[in-house]
Amino acid sequence: MTVSDPVVEEIVATISRSATEIQQGLIGRRGAVDEEGRENPTGDTQLEADVWADDLLGDRLASLEGVGQYASEERPEAVDCGPDPATEDVYAVAVDPLDGSSNLESNNAMGTIFGIYDAPLPARGETLVAAGYVLYGPITTMVIATEETVAEYELTGGERRLVERDLELPDDPVVYGFGGRVPDWTDEFESYAREIEQELKLRYGGAMIGDVNQVLTYGGIFGYPGLESRPEGKLRLQFEGNPIGYIVERAGGRSSDGEQSLLAVDPEEIHQRAPVYVGNADLIERLEDALA
């Protein structure tokens, strides 16, 4: 299966061809960039693997004819690639090169997230034409969402093999995973979490991709809430919230920042954070009621 838009398909194909190389290239790149621990634009310590994966994807995606902007969690500003992203058949690509890279030290799951926007960045999630993620697990898999469908692939040798064409959240939810330190949760969110933990099984691995993939597989809810110390939460809207929200909504679920769909949030700057909740629609509705 290929994506109908040839430019979008070339972007997706470039990321999928790069995925195996990225996973193999993590070996020997588990430490910080330098002894002082250089930080990315939002204050996270950059690992050598973060910068390497960003450079690899940035070089390859920026060279594609239909890419007008490349933006990454590791760079302070979007890179203009030549074509105007406001014109037809030219897209902006926002990437989290290594989601959950802090898991490198313990050798646990991590991934790559991408969103393809039909508008200059920063942009609302409603302007996404496709989004996806690569999960570097025991098997390297890729989930791609477009306006038509959500599909899952296995990646090997630079090729992708279709596993499921029309991926949908199961109707009966099974798992949940919530981020942030419990003492820093708001009272309203903690009350909701205590209800959910009586109903579902905890699955939280420290990388959003792994947790969201479990929600897509088994049904349930993932959330990184607004905290008492950080009401805006931790996750970045352009690189994480919007792409994951788009995927889950296309798979029949819902996304929310606690009040509305993540895709409806107006971004003010490229590294803007937002609370992120995705999962089965009834669980998200209950969450919004609890936080109201």
Q: Could you list the active site residues?
A: 44, 50, 73-74, 96, 98-99, 240
Least Cα distance to 164 among 208, 109, 212, 217 occurs for 217
Query: Tell me, what amino acid is at 264?
Result: A
The answer to the question of whether 204 is labelled as a binding residue is yes
The answer to the question of whether 99 is labelled as a binding residue is yes
Assigned token pair, 59:
């070089």
**Is residue 242 within 8 Å of 263, Cβ to Cβ?**
yes
The answer to the question of whether 235 is labelled as a binding residue is no
Least Cα distance to 96 among 277, 254, 244, 256 occurs for 244
**Is residue 249 within 8 Å of 281, Cβ to Cβ?**
no
The answer to the question of whether 39 is labelled as a binding residue is no
The answer to the question of whether 234 is labelled as a binding residue is yes
**Helix, strand, coil shares, percent, the chain, to 5:** 30, 25, 40
The answer to the question of whether 259 is labelled as a binding residue is no
The answer to the question of whether 176 is labelled as a binding residue is no
Assigned token pair, 249:
């909504």
Q: What whole-number distance in Å separates Cα of residue 163 and Cα of residue 143?
A: 10
The answer to the question of whether 4 is labelled as a binding residue is no
- Taken as a whole, the chain contains a residue count of 292
The answer to the question of whether 98 is labelled as a binding residue is yes
Sign, CA torsion 52/53/59/62: negative
Query: Tell me, what amino acid is at 119?
Result: A
Q: Could you give the 3-state DSSP secondary structure of residue 128?
A: strand
What do you get for the CA distance between the two ends of the chain, in Å? 42
Residue 239: strand pairing partners:
none
The answer to the question of whether 89 is labelled as a binding residue is no
Query: Known binding site: residues?
Result: 73, 96, 98-102, 204, 234, 240
Query: Known binding site for Mg(2+): residues?
Result: 73, 96, 98-99, 240
Query: Known binding site for substrate: residues?
Result: 99-102, 204, 234
